[in-house]
Chains A and B, each alone.
Chain A
């Protein structure tokens, strides 16, 4: 059974810093890995999706990497802003049968 762990559980940094969120998983037989953002009381917003054959994806200030051999993914946020404050969820897809989620990293960017 796939297990997904996100470290740290919570993070608070001053505005402008670059930061890295970590996601580790136990089963490397994955189809894809997806990073989501969730604002309090809201739904999920997809940020980046990395297919199994890919190593990284970039969107604006966000960069996500995938290393299947080590069972790790990182989400890099450059030049953080207060608007980046949210919970970030990592999820792994094994095909038709849904995503397996980590518990998330609660991020606060201090103005």
Chain B
């Protein structure tokens, strides 16, 4: 049971490039989340999903897209990367009937 896994661990992008951050969980959780954490700040919600095929925006969705084709995977797409997207990205999941969220180790992204 690997829990929540994220790839890559680190990435440097040039302005205008695009990439997909991968997130997978093997706990059969139906709820999944993407957060970003800027230096010295708490985490902010980007997008979330309550099940395959269902996604919704969080507090800071601009510049990102998500899809949820399976229960296990919840990729986050960055189109036209900007320096403001330099951050650490965390994926999390939980069961619908539970309270506790489980977090992945994060992806550290730098856009230059």
Contact = CB atoms under 8 A, between A and B. Distances in A.
Contacts of A89: 42-43
B103 A96 contact: no
Interface of A: 4, 31-32, 34, 36, 41-44, 46, 49, 51, 89, 91, 93, 96-104
A89 to B, nearest CB: 6
A49 B101 CA distance: 10
Nearest to B57: A97
A97 B43 contact: no
SS of B interface (majority): strand
19 contacts: A4-B42, A31-B99, A36-B103, A41-B108, A43-B105, A46-B102, A46-B103, A89-B42, A89-B43, A93-B101, A96-B48, A98-B48, A99-B35, A101-B35, A101-B42, A101-B44, A103-B40, A103-B41, A104-B42
A97 B102 CA distance: 14
Contact of B100 (A34, A41, A103): A34
B90 A43 contact: yes
Q: Which 7 A-B pairs have the closest CB atoms?
A: A101-B42, A98-B45, A32-B99, A43-B105, A44-B103, A101-B43, A103-B42
Interface residues of B, number: 25
Contacts of A51: 99
A42 B42 contact: no
Given A43-B90, A43-B104, A43-B105, A97 B45 contact: yes
A68 to B, nearest CB: 15
SS of A interface (majority): strand
B63 interface: no
A102 B42 contact: yes
A103 B44 CA distance: 10
A32 B45 CA distance: 17
A98 B100 contact: no
A93 B33 CA distance: 13
